[in-house]
Amino acid sequence: MSDTANAPELLVERRGAVLWLTIQREERRNAMSHGVLAGMGRALDEAQADRSLRAIVVTGAGSKAFCAGADLQSANAFTTDYSEPYAPLALLLRRAKASTLPLIARVNGACMAGGMGLLAMCDMAVASSHAVFGLPEVKVGVFPAQVLSVLQHLVPRRKLAEMCLTGEPLTAAQALEYGLVNYVDDDVDAKLDWLLQRLLDKSPAAIRRGLYTMKKIEAMGFEEAAAFTESQIALFTLTEDAKEGQQAFQQKRKPQWKGN
């Protein structure tokens, strides 16, 4: 990560085929600002059009905090205009929901309040062993309303109610047990790299269309999902990657993906 003085609040950095979005507000425990949320939204939008990108990593600077949520030191921590029906965090969550590039959270420290929304909007997550997770909003007289839109299907209902109503945190081990993260490791970067390598050698076309399919059927009933996916599988087989993958399997060689 960059330690440059006067660095922007959000560092958007390309590392090979992976786009890194790093909140750079260590003095505020990487609390979200409206600028951070807007910058992430723009980065997600632009990334969708770049076929050379394969994944997006979301993280915070330093080792103490992934994201502490809204910046409660700000006079406008949650909104700047009460007449505006679309809140900054909700707009970002919508963009993440529409992303066909895999989002991976690198949870390098405390993940609290709105930071839990950033975690939950990602498709996968790797956490440091010292990370802690929580929804402490009730302690300051509010509630994790927006975060519930992406958390409600990740965490068991009764555990989610306990987190929301008591505001008490979870350890990294508990987050792993409840399905908030995929992996917990003392060396979060080594584990993240391991996960990325398992992703980057797979078909870009299959992942892009696969994420689209997964996200579309989340809110569908069984019959609607079955009807949608039985048409989608035919489209998967028409891609160049599908043809290449089957030929490579038959010829016992490594596939050369084109991403279309």
The pLDDT mean for the chain works out to 92
* Confidence tier at 3 by pLDDT (50, 70, 90): very low
The pLDDT tens digits for 205-237 are: 999 999 999 999 998 999 999 999 998 998 899
Mean pLDDT to the nearest integer, 169-192: 97
pLDDT at 2: 39
Residue 135 and residue 147 in contact, taking contact as beta carbons nearer than 8 Å: yes
For the chain, the straight-line distance linking the first and the last C-alpha, in angstroms and rounded, comes to 32
Mean pLDDT to the nearest integer, 81-108: 90
pLDDT at 85: 73
pLDDT at 137: 94
CA 96, chain centre distance (Å): 7
Angle, CA of 135, 138 and 144, to the nearest 5°: 50
pLDDT at 84: 72
Distance (Å, rounded) from C-alpha 141 to C-alpha 220? 34
Distance (Å, rounded) from C-alpha 171 to C-alpha 110? 10
When mean pLDDT is compared across 37-51, 67-81, 134-148, 220-234, the lowest value belongs to 67-81
pLDDT at 77: 56
10-200 adopts what CATH topology?
2-enoyl-CoA Hydratase; Chain A, domain 1 (3.90.226)
182: its two tokens: 């995929």
Q: Where are the domains of the chain?
A: 10-200, 204-251
pLDDT at 252: 94
Percent of the chain at pLDDT > 90 equals 84
pTM for this one? Answer: 0.91
Distance (Å, rounded) from C-alpha 184 to C-alpha 116? 16
Pick the more confident residue, 76 or 6.
76
pLDDT at 86: 77
Q: Please identify which residue in the block is written with the tokens 């958390």.
A: 151
Residue 66 and residue 105 in contact, taking contact as beta carbons nearer than 8 Å: yes
Q: Where are the beta strands (DSSP E) in the chain?
A: 10-15, 18-23, 55-60, 65-67, 103-107, 110-112, 124-128, 132-134, 170-171, 183-185
C-alpha neighbours within 13 Å on the C-beta side of residue 111:
31
